[in-house]
Amino acid sequence: MERWRRAFFGVVLLAGAVGKVVLAQDGGSSVDVGAGAFAGMARTGGEVTEVAGPVLTVKTAEGSIMHIVTTDNTRVVKAKGVTAKVSDVKVGDGVMAAGILDAPKRTLHAAILFATDAAQLKAMKENLGKTYIMGRVKAINMDDAQMTVERPDGVAQTIGFDETTSFRRGRRGEARSAVAAGAPVGATLPATAESITLADIKVGDAVRGKGSLKGGVFVPTELVVMAAGEGRARHMGARDGAQAGTS
């Protein structure tokens, strides 16, 4: 379970933290947590372990316990951009929240809460590395047209490329969440997105894309690349706060 808590939160970090988080399978609405009312807010997330009225207890990717406090003013968003209520969130669901951090109490007072249900998490677990890939580039083998990607669950997976694969440079705010099976994590980008080649990708870049297994090797139809540093979330405060609260 620890790997999959890490997987969920890692997907949130890589897909959501670069700006616009789109919780959709196709064409859902979006919320920009990097601008406007949510700019500069601390973030935390993980798997829900307890629901006590307006307070959610979650276990983060690092294994720390955090409390997310909601109010009537907290915006709750589920798949396809559907507005929900905190009461819709259940134990086993995955969440990511942005708000004001109270580090000593390991508590985040949430202005907005993104939630994905346990069934979607299960689908994500089963399909990571099979129908989609996401993670950080650890090694590139130009001779064999292969790449090693460190996935959010900590697994290093070697993927391959063929004549069907295209490469594009993602732009800040275009990342999509892959919280459901078949979700278009490599969804077609606007025509203004930069087309690149395998040679343009560097170790440390964040990548995501949809595809399939061919001969036991995952081959993306399109690989979207974010340069190293562009996909890092403002979750450090929450993580460090949680650690401080346990010290």
Q: Is the pLDDT of residue 173 over 80?
A: no
Please state, in angstroms and rounded to a whole number, the distance separating the CA atoms of residues 132 and 136. Answer: 14
pLDDT of residue 70: 97
Residue of 180, 181, 152, 4 whose CA lies nearest to 82: 180
Lowest mean pLDDT among 30-34, 86-90, 174-178: 174-178
- The residue type of 20 is K
> Torsions phi, psi of 190, nearest 5?
-60, 160
Highest mean pLDDT among 22-26, 215-219, 231-235, 243-247: 215-219
| Res. 228 pLDDT band, cuts 50 70 90 | low
Contact 239, 246 (CB under 8 A): no
Print burial letters for 177-199: b (CB count within 10 Å at least 16), e (below 16): bbbbbebbbbbebeeeeeeeebe
Lowest mean pLDDT among 31-40, 66-75, 159-168: 31-40
| Res. 191 pLDDT band, cuts 50 70 90 | very low
| Burial (Cβ within 10 Å: 0-12, 13-18, ≥19) of residue 229 | exposed
pLDDT of residue 229: 53
Percent of the chain with pLDDT over 90: 49
